[in-house]
Structure 1
C-alpha cells in the first residue's frame, strides 16, 4: 500500500475520458439553466433530454418503494 507521501495530487483529478464526460455534462446543465431565460429558449431544442451515464439501463427500471413501520 503506498504511503501518503508518494501519492500525487493528479490521482484525484479527472483526466482523459472522465474529464471530457464531466465537461460535456456541465455544458448540458448550464444550457438547461440558460434555456429558462427568454433569449436562450432556443437551447431547449438542441440540448439532449438525458445525459449519458454508464447506469442508464439500471435507471430505466421502475423503483419499488416499501413503506416501513415507524417506531415511536
Structure 2
C-alpha cells in the first residue's frame, strides 16, 4: 500500500510541474503540498488499514472543499 502513495506523489508532482509551467502558481503550490504529503506518508510503514483510513479522510476533505468551491466561489462568479 505504501507504494501506491508514492505513485500518487509522482502524479501530483507531474501536475505540479504542469500547473507551474501553465502559470497557475497557487494551484501548483496546492499540488506541491499534496505531493509532499503523499511521499512522506509512503515512508511511514503504516498498516494497510491505517493507509485506507488516511485516504478516506483525504477524500472526505477533498470532496468537501471541492463542493464548497464549486457552489460558493465558482458559480456566483459566472456571468450569464
TM superposition score category, shorter chain reference: 0.3 to 0.5
- TM-score (structure 1 length as normaliser): 0.36
- TM-score (structure 2 length as normaliser): 0.33
Using CA pairs under 8 Å that are at least 6 residues apart, name the structure with larger relative contact order, 1 or 2. Answer: 2
